[in-house]
A and B are shown apart, each in its own frame.
Chain A
Amino acid sequence: GENVEQHPSTLSVQEGDSAVIKCTYSDSASNYFPWYKQELGKGPQLIIDIRSNVGEKKDQRIAVTLNKTAKHFSLHITETQPEDSAVYFCAAINAGGTSYGKLTFGQGTILTVHP
């Protein structure tokens, strides 16, 4: 099955700095890579995703990049704000395979943005 490794486990930045979280996956058949944000006391919520036919995707201050050859993908947050403080999870799935609908998650990154 799929295995997703996420780094770092904790990340502390100053407001306005950039933050980068990296994930690697093991199954070359994985073709869909979402990122979830979990705020304190809440369930995770999808913030951005990328499919394997795209190398980069941006949505305002967040972006995700994918390197299929190296089997890794990253979340980039620019101009960080205190409200970006949360736990971030990467995930991977072969959206057309037998594991359809079952995401494999990374271990999570606790991001703290200091004012």
Chain B
Amino acid sequence: DADVTQTPRNRITKTGKRIMLECSQTKGHDRMYWYRQDPGLGLRLIYYSFDVKDINKGEISDGYSVSRQAQAKFSLSLESAIPNQTALYFCATSDLRGTHSTGELFFGEGSRLTVL
């Protein structure tokens, strides 16, 4: 089984609908992230959480919200989806214990969202 699991892997929805993307991890990492990937734009950070009680906005958080239900679970919500939120979404985890740790990111396999 994958260490970082995203559901659903593919979703087609309509403008205005509420969508939730879920992420669970078995790596035991404290830090979890949601990234969005668009062609030519690379990976852009939406939200990140350094522990269960810590939620932070990334560079493109508008239109998104998150919930850290447990150390192992981090979900991303689109309250009212719009077409320009069509993208590939990745959840990632990292472990920054240790003074020399740089926090290698471990990614899930992605959730492809299409908003019509």
Contact = CB atoms under 8 A, between A and B. Distances in A.
A102 to B, nearest CB: 6
Interface stretch (A11-19, A44-52, A68-76): A44-52
Interface stretch (A58-66, A78-86, A104-112): A104-112
B40 A46 contact: no
Contacts, number: 59
Interface in B14-34: 31, 33
Contact of A89 (B33, B43, B45): B43
A89 B40 CA distance: 11
Contact of A43 (B4, B31, B58): B4
A44 B45 contact: no
Given A43-B4, A44-B107, A105 B43 contact: yes
